[in-house]
Chain A
Amino acid sequence: MADSANAPKPSSSVKLVLLGEAAVGKSSLVLRFVNNDFQENKEPTIGAAFLTQKCNLPTRTIKFEIWDTAGQERFASLAPMYYRNAQAALVVYDLTKPTSLVKAKHWVAELQRQASPGIVIALVGNKLDLTNDGAGSGAAESGDDSGDARKITTEEAKTYAEEEGLLFFETSAKTGYNVTEVFTAIANAIPETSLKSARGPGASHAAGRTEEQRVNLNGPRDPNAKEGCAC
């Protein structure tokens, strides 16, 4: 019955990098997206972590190759290595922490200056659950009186995002609110032309694992695949 749905869809990989101040929730967003999980006291990332996750769109499958970078200052000099060939970037701030938006703006500027010209950038305000309009119940957990830890208004961030031509979302890695939406929006925003096919047109297995091993066995992947397409 699922035959038509499983018919080989074009599949392509997209290199995505997460940037942002320490402790804004980059790793938590990735953990939510990849494993649908959340950890209350997540330890800071050291260096960077590399993860993959698929995103199924109606017309194609996007395989995200995600670089979750460390936000701590001392790792900042390594960042260019991760965004250099990235097709997408998620710049994250904590909407309860004003300095984190300042930092996010720096990252956006650096990306616009140094990254590939076509890079799709999403600005993400995380920890929405700590605010009054937190997903679901709407009740914040931290305060009693105002109950709102929000320090950065939606308008402020949204206006900035529009000016710079960024996608914009407010999320909660904790509740999962809007997390998949961010990645789906990015997947949709990647221009067709910048997508390279991850494998030749003949292959029809959808299973990622076999696919990856096959690719690795064949050594350098992209040149072959592309030539196959061009014929």
Chain B
Amino acid sequence: MVPDADAGSSGSNANDLQAPPPLPPRRMLSTERGTLQVTPAQSTPTTAVSSVDISTLSFPDGSRGTFTTSAMRAVSTPINTGSGRVSPSLGPPSGDLAESMSVMSFAPTMKPAGDLASLVAGGLNRKSRAWQLLRSQSATVQPFQTRDTGMGSGLTGFEREFDNIPDITVQGTTDDDRVALWKSKLKHYMILSSAGKPIYSRHGDLSLINSSMGVVQTIISFYEGAKDPLMGFTAGNTRFVVATEGPLYFVAISKLGESDSQLRSQLDALYMQILSTLTLPTLKNIFVHRPSTDLRKPLEGTESLLSSLADSFTKGSPSALLGALECLRLRKSQRHSINNAFLKMRNDKLLYGLIVAGGKLVSVIRPRKHSLHPSDLQLIFNMLFESGGVKAGGGENWIPLCLPAFNNRGYLYMYVSFFDGNPESNSAEPVQDRSDSEDEIAIILISADKESFYDLKEIRDKVAQQLSKNGSLTIIKAAAAGGRPKIPAIAAGAQISHFLYKSRANVQFCMSSLEPAFGGSGDDEPAKMVARRKLMSLYHQLHASMHAKHTHLKVLHCVGEDAASLAWITPIFELYCVAGPNISRQVMTQGANKIIQWAKKEEERLFIIGGGVF
């Protein structure tokens, strides 16, 4: 299934930037990981250079207006290294543009985005009166509401992305149907051993993907022989990214437009999940003794965890994108009293203790010398909240797992139980009968001692009783049920539709409510899922632009056909926001400023600062 690829590979020497033309630039993997890399602090904002395409609009009265349009990249492209700008990437095919009635010309140019102060001043792009009038009429257009140009969004069939491919036994499906379905998926993840044995594929059973795996293995090992490992290649509008981890090959195949480093960190998360199941020494041992081992047996039961991780990336996960965690918003004093109750009840079996509500962190207690790594928490959250296994199991759970960022050589033991999520009930008992609820509360206790279940259960019972007695449980339930903050309450009149705000020092983020346009339930859920992916794709593009090597971009403002967006990075925070296409830069920047002020004021409510330390 691998189309004739204009394959490129990049060298093992990551510092050699003199790549021959057909090869994508190399990247320094070592610095790509982690989330704490802080760009050199600069006291004055630099004038950022970004790829902003200017389009000109002609009005019936003869006047013309110009506006910028973001370069929507159909294919994720490796971000240029060595240049201080984002590569002006493939725009939509001009045929599409000609059909779109309002856009008269399309002239890609480079334009300085200006620092924020000058953006606020608003003198940058003065428009004709007619333009202002037109814009003021339609300023309330929401993002992604322009009629879908089909090809343009590249999301055709995304509603069916997660549908299963029927297996061979289902009557009336031919192999051709199955292959066609398989090819229609926008995102694939594959894991195989370097000997070519399939380990995991998100879509399709073994009979379907075996030959593809063979091709992938052949391609990868061809380059490996040349001492020049294959990092990725592009075929048509599909980007292939390859990661080699010891005896394993990880492949991401995406039509969703993520950057290579974003895809690579997704693959890294899948690798972490495998380590979490097996530990590194076990994984190595297996292949040292028998390189042709079928890893599916030892990994049995891990598929659903890999798939829920993969699907969260395909849907678009702000947490994975930002490498940060989301917390439940609580008053400082409330969080304090929860932390204290937690700290008071701990015993010496406890390594880490967490309370989580609806996938958001409520409280963490930890020893002074250890902190929890976001990638480890991502695995735990995925297991508990995304994949159904533990949640549906009921009762209290005792789970051996390896947290690779903490220590990839051994297992820890995790006690998990859920509280009754029903706000009316005030029971502190472990729930045995759980309904799927957004605001369920879990308590997670981690120990290095596999015999400590009853010790940790005792902590849980005491903490639960205390939280129930002092009213904290009710507060947590109410906060979780209240959902994420709505923008009108933060930045009234800002016309911003959605934002992500990451506190870099705390490695945590917050975001505005996805409802109603990008989430929530209703009969138009498939449409919302697509809208949400569009939003996340835009965030991925902004993020990739801002984090491209050697770009010291501070502010990036993009206007596209169906949305306007702004990214703003300082040593303290990263802010990404999205609005309808007609919002002026000035209004957008004012909104961004309001969000920043809000986040600063609310910092101790939005984020866990330090947590309970013992």
Contact = CB atoms under 8 A, between A and B. Distances in A.
Nearest to A69: B398
B332 interface: no
A46 B397 contact: yes
A46 B396 CA distance: 12
Contacts of B300: 22, 44, 72-74
Nearest to B399: A47
Contacts of A75: 400
Contacts of A66: 395
Interface string B186-211: 00000000000000000000000000
A49 B383 contact: no
User: Which of A30, A39, A49, A75 lies at the interface centre, i.e. has the most chain B CB atoms within 10 A of its CB?
Assistant: A49
A129 interface: no
Contacts of A39: 392
A68 B458 CA distance: 20
Residue of A39, A46, A212 with most partner-chain B CB within 10 A: A46
A209 B301 contact: no
B397 A47 contact: yes
Interface in A49-90: 49-52, 66, 68, 70, 72-75, 78, 81
B389 interface: yes
B395 A43 contact: no
A22 B301 contact: yes
A43 B304 CA distance: 8
Contacts of A209: 427, 429
A78 B387 contact: no
Residue among B278, B388, B432, B453 with max Cβ neighbours from chain A (10 Å): B432
Nearest to A35: B433
Given A50-B395, A50-B396, A72-B300, A34 B432 contact: yes
A43 B300 CA distance: 12
A49 B451 contact: no
Interface in A4-39: 22, 27, 30-31, 34-35, 37, 39
B427 A51 contact: no
Contacts of A113: none
A46 B390 contact: yes
B4 to A, nearest CB: 40
B8 interface: no
Contact of B394 (A31, A46, A216, A217): A31
How extensive is the interface on chain B, given as a class?
35 or more
A30 B414 CA distance: 21
B297 interface: yes
A50 B398 contact: yes
Contact of B392 (A42, A50, A74, A216): A42
Interface string B283-312: 000000000000001101100100000000
B485 interface: no
Interface in B370-392: 383, 387-390, 392
B396 A51 contact: yes
Contacts of B462: 216
B388 A43 contact: yes
B283 to A, nearest CB: 12
B224 interface: no
A213 interface: yes
B593 interface: no
Contact of B383 (A46, A68, A212): A46
Most buried by B among A50, A68, A70, A73: A50
B301 A72 contact: yes
A134 to B, nearest CB: 21
A48 interface: yes
Given A31-B394, A81-B450, A216-B462, A51 B298 contact: no
Nearest to A47: B399
B393 interface: yes
Interface in B448-481: 450-451, 453, 457-458, 461-462, 465
A45 interface: yes
A51 B417 CA distance: 11
Given A35-B432, A43-B388, A74-B300, A51 B399 contact: no
Contacts of B394: 30-31, 34-35, 49, 51
B393 A27 contact: yes
B69 to A, nearest CB: 45
Contacts of A81: 450-451
Contacts of B458: 216
Contacts of B451: 81
A132 B461 CA distance: 46
Nearest to A220: B458
Interface string A94-119: 00000000000000000000000000
Contacts of B298: 73-74
Nearest to B396: A50
A180 B278 CA distance: 37
A51 B432 contact: yes
Contact of B450 (A37, A49, A78, A217): A78
B465 A43 contact: no
Given A22-B301, A73-B300, A216-B462, A50 B393 contact: no
A209 to B, nearest CB: 6
A45 B387 CA distance: 12
Contacts of B401: 47
A226 to B, nearest CB: 18
Contact of B396 (A27, A34, A44, A49): A49
B453 A50 contact: yes
Interface of A: 22, 27, 30-31, 34-35, 37, 39, 42-52, 66, 68, 70, 72-75, 78, 81, 209, 212-213, 216-217
22 contacts: A22-B301, A43-B389, A43-B392, A44-B300, A45-B389, A46-B383, A46-B397, A47-B399, A47-B401, A48-B397, A49-B394, A50-B395, A50-B396, A51-B396, A68-B395, A72-B300, A73-B297, A73-B300, A74-B278, A74-B298, A75-B400, A209-B429
Given A43-B392, A49-B397, A51-B396, 15 more contacts: A35-B432, A43-B387, A44-B304, A45-B389, A46-B383, A46-B397, A48-B398, A49-B393, A51-B395, A66-B395, A68-B395, A73-B300, A75-B400, A209-B429, A217-B465
